[in-house]
Amino acid sequence: MKKEYDYVIVGSGLFGSVFAHEAKKAGKKCLVIDKRNHVGGNIYCENIEGINVHKYGAHIFHTNDKTLWNYVNQFVEFNNFTNSPLSLSKGKLYNLPFNMNTFYQLWGTKTPKEAKAKIEEQISRYVVEKPQNLEEQALSLVGKDIYDNFIKEYTEKQWGRKATELPSFIIKRIPIRFTFDNNYFNDTYQGIPIGGYNKLIEGLLDGIEVLTNIDYFTDRQKFNQLSEKIVYSGKIDEYFDYKLGVLEYRSLLFENEILEIENFQGNAVVNYNDSVYDFTRIIEHKHFEFGKQKKTVITKEYPQEWGHGKEAFYPINDLKNQSLFNEYKKLALKEKNVIFGGRLAEYKYYDMHQVIALALTKTKKEFK
């Protein structure tokens, strides 16, 4: 007998919402459930004082893929926000990512030739054939001054682990360039949805049945029986009742403040490198949408170890966790009527555009 739904989609973040949208287009009937009291996963924004506050951390959309850019823009127009964070290090502000402005501020080098020579001199002391960890990677890419000023303390706060115990790929996310260009991303397309990210999710989920405040695990039998297939975007270890062990994540605590001033820091993102600050960055949300409100809302971001009851934000992709994930993945491959996807189900440090691309690939395969 045909079941009530073709798909029950667990989690209404980007993966689940894109899947639902594409499934509906293919004529499938979906039910999306989310344990939170709202949809959107971590891109959800809360309106405070007329400002879209990125409740689960700053999200800046960027991609090189025009098709993806057009895909998101069909639901909501994106503005031309460019992420140009600053880093406060030992009492001084510097531009990020590492570019000619940073090098000038740090060393006084004025030309690419001077800056390259300086970096060459710095990295020549750390010739590592194949960097084994984040520290080795950073030292061999940018040398000791940049590592000490902008990376080591920030990274160790962010991950709660020594930089020598972290995978090297994390630091490769940050560009290095020899132009005076403070754009944090190398991608061609970048921006924030005009009116906030909730519009993107509302567009994706338009016309689809959604239930919030529903935890799949409290009634999984029922949901499994309701649908032909489950699309699961939650934590993979939780799906298997943690039977092989618990995967580690990094969590974050967000401390919001409403300030009776128009402009607190003049920029959306300021990173606080030094370990004297327990937080890693302060986000001033109005700047994402060039807000002119009388007040401003800022958020200090305190990294924490993940534990039950906390949000799992960043997978810890070290060897130990990665091999545990690989074991879970083997189990996942045996689940015939379940599609796993997203940052938590794949235990991968995905950006938004990557999650959307992945959901589109999976749906193409599913509905071909």
Residues that bind ligand UDP (CB under 6 A): 87, 96, 150-151, 154-155, 158, 170-171, 173-174, 271, 273
The one catalytic residue among 301, 328, 343, 347: 301
34 is catalytic: no
301 is catalytic: yes
Instruction: Name the one residue in this structure whose structure tokens are 């934590």.
Output: 235
Residue 267: CB minimum distance to ligand UDP, A:
13
- Kindly give the interhelix angle for 134-142 and 112-123, rounded to the nearest 10 degrees: 140
Which two three-digit tokens encode residue 93? 């502000």
- Nearest partner of 56 among 226, 197, 211, 248, judged by Cα: 197
Rounded CA separation 273/309 (Å): 28
Is the CB of residue 236 less than 8 Å from the CB of residue 332? yes
Residue 229: CB minimum distance to ligand UDP, A:
31
The one catalytic residue among 77, 125, 173, 255: 173
Burial 124-157 (b: 16+ CB within 10 A, else e): eebeeeebebbbbbbbbbbbeebbebbbbbbbbb
125 is catalytic: no
Closer residue to ligand UDP (CB): 150 or 189: 150
The one catalytic residue among 156, 281, 347, 350: 281
Residue 56: CB minimum distance to ligand UDP, A:
11
Residue 106: CB minimum distance to ligand UDP, A:
13
Closer residue to ligand UDP (CB): 128 or 338: 128
Closer residue to ligand UDP (CB): 142 or 236: 142
Beta-ladder partners of 250: 305, 314
Residue 158: CB minimum distance to ligand UDP, A:
4
250 is catalytic: yes
Rounded CA separation 27/367 (Å): 10
Is the CB of residue 273 less than 8 Å from the CB of residue 88? yes
**Strands across the sheet with 296-305, in order?**
92-95, 86-89, 269-272, 281-284, 296-305, 249-259, 314-315
The one catalytic residue among 104, 161, 177, 238: 177
The one catalytic residue among 104, 277, 302, 349: 349
Closer residue to ligand UDP (CB): 92 or 222: 92
173 is catalytic: yes
Closer residue to ligand UDP (CB): 115 or 142: 142
Residues serving a catalytic function are: 173, 177, 250, 281, 301, 349, 351
